[in-house]
């Protein structure tokens, strides 16, 4: 079973499973297929995380192939760029300076080598076919082209500096109808080159060379050394914690996902949530929002790349800390923003997920991204390679919120070789030591709340998976101090939350979740209906 946000990528994974490949082989195939069918969300110019659970020895695998900042990065580079060129596109977000060193090719190749059974060429085959022969685009792709066009309209200079994305996707994409084929010959050639030469060609060969040349020509600071030095990190200890008779395995820093999930759920464990949900649904949402505010306040204060500053993972994920915070939550009122988290004020102030279970019970969850739609918009034309804008996940300018409205501290400031803090949360939930729920998603900080919403809906409220995915979702990220829903919630929730002092946003937004439920030996896959993905399984 494969659940991804692209039907074609799910089928690519299933094709590999049917050939006898395992979940790691299928993960590589799904990821490369996503690079073709979801160029607005992810691709080999991006990075990501993976968590796996192997029944053999009950081994947990963690892989961090997040992008890292170029060696020439400095803490003030974006503030200086803005000062030098006022009125130009936000430099951490669009164009050559927004690009961090991509990790997906190295990440997938390394997992394949360590845990897979097939060759890189074999798992690339479905993606190459999709790029060469084309695939029918869906509404999500067309909508992404329309919103990217607004950026080109606002900053016409991007048409020259980021021309490949404009020419290949945006200009024609806005005119496409759902179901029309998109063919990407340059990308097909790149994937064929990887299949023929191995992953190293991306980091040490002609692809890296072309990328650095194009990047430098347009004001970027990537160097050949950045590519030669890039390393996948497979040594991060997972965040593992219990929640009401379940064990949750989640992503450690440089993702904030695992710590935020643990802190929120540790707080919520102090309340009889299933009963409160049944008797007083608004109060259940109030507790949820208050717990998320604590977790996001601590995210802003404490989290960043653990290689650059020690992170108090033990403290933030401790049951006692969650219980203390829960004890202080007032059932009738929310509190001032300053009172959330251990330390109250920050000292300074396009993604794709998939889940796979194979015939042997290996479970893989992985989230990857180029950050916002079509990443930095900057690409290497001749290779059809669209680059991420993951540098915007740093606190690029002190005190300035990033594109997701996240206010963050110096711990997540720009530094050479550092990985930006992420919200991507590939997660596996175990019961009695065996996986029962695989999930994760896209949507910036809303990934964390969406994973929490679906997890609670399944574990605490006993909903069938499909209902757990479609029920209105609730999000709070501490700053801005607003509760967000993805669609109109029942009026008793809004009345109960407003009465407790919460400010409700008019904006409707949420993450996009992919999940697989394992119950009595049966697999149920579900793709969030909000993006048009579809699971595939036998």
Distance CA 531, CA 523 (A): 21
**Which stretch in 32-40, 73-81, 128-136, 417-425 sits in contact with ligand DON by CB under 6 A?**
417-425
The yes-or-no answer on residue 510 being catalytic is no
CB of 146 to ligand DON, least distance (A): 15
What 3-state class would DSSP assign to 514? strand
**Residue 424 in contact with ligand DON, rule: CB under 6 A:** yes
Q: How far is the CB of 402 from ligand DON (least distance, A)?
A: 9
Q: Which of 39, 43, 350, 440 binds ligand DON (CB under 6 A)?
A: 350
351 binds ligand DON (CB under 6 A): yes
* Total binding residues toward ligand DON, as defined by CB under 6 A: 13
Q: Which is nearer to ligand DON, 266 or 369 (CB)?
A: 369
Buried b / exposed e along 60-91 (16+ C-beta atoms within 10 A): ebbbbbbbbbbeebebebbbebbeeeeebbbb
* Interacting span for ligand DON (CB under 6 A) from 31-39, 217-225, 436-444, 455-463: 436-444
Least spacing, CB of residue 352 vs ligand DON, in Å: 8
**Residue among 184, 422, 427, 477 that touches ligand DON (CB under 6 A):** 422
Rounded-to-integer distance, Cα 212 and Cα 222, Å:
6
Which is closer to ligand DON, CB of 324 or CB of 505? Answer: 505
The four Cα atoms 202, 206, 212, 214 give a dihedral, to 10 degrees, of -120
Pair 465, 526: CB distance under 8 Å: yes
Interior angle at CA 91, CA 90 and CA 92, nearest 5: 95
Of 150 and 180, CB closest to ligand DON: 150
β-strand 483-485 against 504-508: which pairing, if any? parallel
CB of 496 to ligand DON, least distance (A): 30
Please identify, among the stretches 82-90, 224-232, 306-314, 443-451, the one whose residues bind ligand DON according to the rule CB under 6 A: 443-451
Q: Which is nearer to ligand DON, 308 or 461 (CB)?
A: 308
Binding residue for ligand DON, selected from 443, 489, 496, 533, defined by CB under 6 A: 443
- Judging by beta carbons within 10 Å of its beta carbon (0-12, 13-18, 19+), is residue 281 exposed, middle or buried? middle
Out of 444, 496, 525, 535, the residue judged to bind ligand DON by CB under 6 A: 444
Interface positions, 393-412, toward ligand DON (CB under 6 A)? 393
Shortest distance, position 119 Cβ to ligand DON, whole Å: 30
Distance CA(77)–CA(84), nearest Å, equals 10
Helices (H) and strands (E) in the chain, counts: 21, 18
Q: Which of 37, 42, 168, 351 is catalytic?
A: 351
User: Are 461 and 274 in contact, with CB atoms under 8 Å apart?
Assistant: yes
Q: Which of 193, 203, 251 is nearest to 226 (CA)?
A: 203
Dihedral sign computed on CA atoms, order 502, 503, 506, 509: negative
Among 402, 442, 450, 527, binds ligand DON (CB under 6 A): 442
Span of 21-29, 295-303, 340-348, 421-429 interacting with ligand DON by CB under 6 A: 421-429
* Helix extents (H) in 303-435: 313-316, 319-328
Provide the pairing of β-strand 434-442 with 427-431. antiparallel
From candidates 6, 68, 362, 369, binder to ligand DON by CB under 6 A: 369
**CB-wise, 10 or 371, nearer to ligand DON?**
371
CA 147/CA 141 separation, integer angstroms: 10
User: For residues 477 and 297, what is the distance between their CA atoms, to the nearest angstrom?
Assistant: 8
Contacts for 507 with CB less than 8 Å, ≥ 6 apart: 484
Q: Tokens representing 376?
A: 């930095």
Closer of 317 and 425 to ligand DON (Cβ)? 425
Phi, psi at 494, each rounded to 5°: -65, -40
Nearer to ligand DON, 40 or 457 (CB): 40
- Please state the closest distance from residue 491 (CB atom) to ligand DON, in A: 29
Q: How many residues does the chain have?
A: 538
Q: Give 21 or 533: the residue with its C-beta nearer to ligand DON.
A: 533
CA dihedral 195, 179, 533, 520 (to 10 degrees): -90
Among 101, 125, 303, 447, binds ligand DON (CB under 6 A): 447
Q: How far is the CB of 371 from ligand DON (least distance, A)?
A: 4
Give the binding range for ligand DON (CB under 6 A) out of 262-270, 339-347, 419-427, 467-475: 419-427
Which of 409, 412, 423, 510 is the binder for ligand DON (CB under 6 A)? Answer: 423
Interface residue with ligand DON among 63, 161, 264, 371 (CB under 6 A) is 371
d(CA 335, CA 425): 27
Determine contact, residues 159/165, Cβ cutoff 8 Å. no
Which CB atom, from 95 or from 443, has the smaller least distance to ligand DON? Answer: 443
Tokens of 255: 């993702």
103/126 with CB nearer ligand DON? 103
Residues that bind ligand DON (CB under 6 A): 350-351, 369, 371, 390, 393, 422-424, 442-444, 447
List, by residue number, the catalytic residues. 351
């Amino acid at each position: 079973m494969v659940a991804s946000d692209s039907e074609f990528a799910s089928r690519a994974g299933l094709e590999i499973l049917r050939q006898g490949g395992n979940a790691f082989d299928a993960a590589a195939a799904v990821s490369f297929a996503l690079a073709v069918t979801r160029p607005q969300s992810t691709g080999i110019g991006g990075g990501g995380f993976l968590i796996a659970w192997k029944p053999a020895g009950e081994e947990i695998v963690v892989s961090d192939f997040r992008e890292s900042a170029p060696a020439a990065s400095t803490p003030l580079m974006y503030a200086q760029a803005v000062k030098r060129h006022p009125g130009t596109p936000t430099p951490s977000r669009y164009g050559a300076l927004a690009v961090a060193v991509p990790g997906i090719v190295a990440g997938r190749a390394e997992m394949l080598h360590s845990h897979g059974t097939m060759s890189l060429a074999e798992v690339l085959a479905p993606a190459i076919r999709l790029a060469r022969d084309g695939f029918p685009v869906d509404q999500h792709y067309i909508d992404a082209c329309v919103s990217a066009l607004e950026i080109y309209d606002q900053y016409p200079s991007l048409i020259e500096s980021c021309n490949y994305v404009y020419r290949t996707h945006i200009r024609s994409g806005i005119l496409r109808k759902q179901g029309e084929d998109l063919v990407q010959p340059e990308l097909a050639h790149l994937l064929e080159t990887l299949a023929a030469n191995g992953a190293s060609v991306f980091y040490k060969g002609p692809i890296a060379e072309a990328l650095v040349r194009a990047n430098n020509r347009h004001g970027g600071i990537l160097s050949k050394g950045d590519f030669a030095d890039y390393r996948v990190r497979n040594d991060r200890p997972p965040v593992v914690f219990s929640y009401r008779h379940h064990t949750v395995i989640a992503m450690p820093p440089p993702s904030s996902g695992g710590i935020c999930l643990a802190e929120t759920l540790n707080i919520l464990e102090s309340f009889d949530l299933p009963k409160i949900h049944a008797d007083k649904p608004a109060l259940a949402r109030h507790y949820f929002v208050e717990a998320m505010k604590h977790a996001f306040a601590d995210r802003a204060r404490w989290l960043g790349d653990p290689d650059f500053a020690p992170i108090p993972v033990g403290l933030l994920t401790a049951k006692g800390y969650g219980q203390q915070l829960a004890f202080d939550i007032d059932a009738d009122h929310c509190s001032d923003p300053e009172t959330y988290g251990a330390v109250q004020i920050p000292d300074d102030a396009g993604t794709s997920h998939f889940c796979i279970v194979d015939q042997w019970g290996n479970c893989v969850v992985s989230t990857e991204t180029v950050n916002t739609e079509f990443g930095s918009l900057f690409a290497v034309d001749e290779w059809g390679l669209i680059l991420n804008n993951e540098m915007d996940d740093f606190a690029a300018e002190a005190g300035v919120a990033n594109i997701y409205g996240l206010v963050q501290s110096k711990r997540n400031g720009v530094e050479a070789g550092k990985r930006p803090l992420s919200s991507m949360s590939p997660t596996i939930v175990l019961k009695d030591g065996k996986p029962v729920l695989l999930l994760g998603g896209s949507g910036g900080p809303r990934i964390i709340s969406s994973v929490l919403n679906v997890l609670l809906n399944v574990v605490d409220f006993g909903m069938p998976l499909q209902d757990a995915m479609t029920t209105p979702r609730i999000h709070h990220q501490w700053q801005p101090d607003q509760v967000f829903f993805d669609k109109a919630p029942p009026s008793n929730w809004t009345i109960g939350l407003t009465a407790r002092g919460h400010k409700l946003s008019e904006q409707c937004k949420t993450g996009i979740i992919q999940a697989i439920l394992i119950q009595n030996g049966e697999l149920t896959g579900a793709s969030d209906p909000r993006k048009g993905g579809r699971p595939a399984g036998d």
